[in-house]
A and B are shown apart, each in its own frame.
Chain A
Amino acid sequence: LAKTTQPISMDSYEGQEVNITCSHNNIATNDYITWYQQFPSQGPRFIIQGYKTKVTNEVASLFIPADRKSSTLSLPRVSLSDTAVYYCLVVANTNAGKSTFGDGTTLTVKP
């Protein structure tokens, strides 16, 4: 499975848009890109998943360029409650459960 690289930490302020970029240079043709959010003392929670171009749901958008070697998670108008660790995973279409979590990006939202 492709290794992912994310920034270790990011700071933002309430109301701003936050973009977290993940590099996955060795992504395979059938791999998907998935993002999870984790709060302290809780298990990770699925945010969004995509294969190419743009995916949007009620909490986030995921932008994937044509070469798929990177992806960007976009959180619109963050609040203090968005302070968490965000993980980018490259997931094989089959045997998806063998996803490898990197160390994630710690996002701190300040008032």
Chain B
Amino acid sequence: NAGVTQTPKFQVLKTGQSMTLQCAQDMNHEYMSWYRQDPGMGLRLIHYSVGAGITDQGEVPNGYNVSRSTTEDFPLRLLSAAPSQTSVYFCASSPTDRAGHSPLHFGNGTRLTVT
């Protein structure tokens, strides 16, 4: 199993450009989520999904869209990039949304710079 795969690893955008960060998992996990991590800080939840066709907002959703058309994929779209969105983005998945059985499995991140 590859686990959680994120592409690209690095990306540079100009202000106002849009792009999609890809996330795929091959573990048949129901739950998937996106976090951003700014330098020296913890992770903040952007959006999450408890199953195909279901998404919800996290702590910092503004400027981002998500969709979950399949169990495997959970892309994150930046609508109009801003320098404040410069960060490292992590995708995570877990088998279910029940704490006792569901540690999060993380990808290795996408480092995004917006100039």
Give A residues with C-beta under 8 Å from B. Answer: 31-32, 34, 36, 41-46, 49, 51, 87, 91-104
CB of B73 within 8 A of chain A? no
By beta carbon, the residue of chain B nearest A49 is B103
Could you tell me if A100 and B45 are in contact, using CB atoms closer than 8 angstroms? yes
CB of B27 within 8 A of chain A? no
Could you tell me if B94 and A103 are in contact, using CB atoms closer than 8 angstroms? no
- List the A side residues contacting B103 at CB < 8 Å: 34, 46, 49
Could you tell me if A98 and B99 are in contact, using CB atoms closer than 8 angstroms? no
Give B residues with C-beta under 8 Å from A. Answer: 4, 31, 33, 35, 40-45, 48, 50, 58-59, 90, 92, 94, 97-100, 102-109
Instruction: Give the interface centre of B33, B35, B59, B102 by most chain A CB atoms within 10 Å.
Output: B102
Q: How many A-B residue pairs have CB under 8 A?
A: 73
Could you tell me if A32 and B108 are in contact, using CB atoms closer than 8 angstroms? no
By beta carbon, the residue of chain A nearest B43 is A101
Could you tell me if A92 and B99 are in contact, using CB atoms closer than 8 angstroms? yes
CB distance from B67 to the nearest CB of A (A): 17
- List the A side residues contacting B108 at CB < 8 Å: 41-43
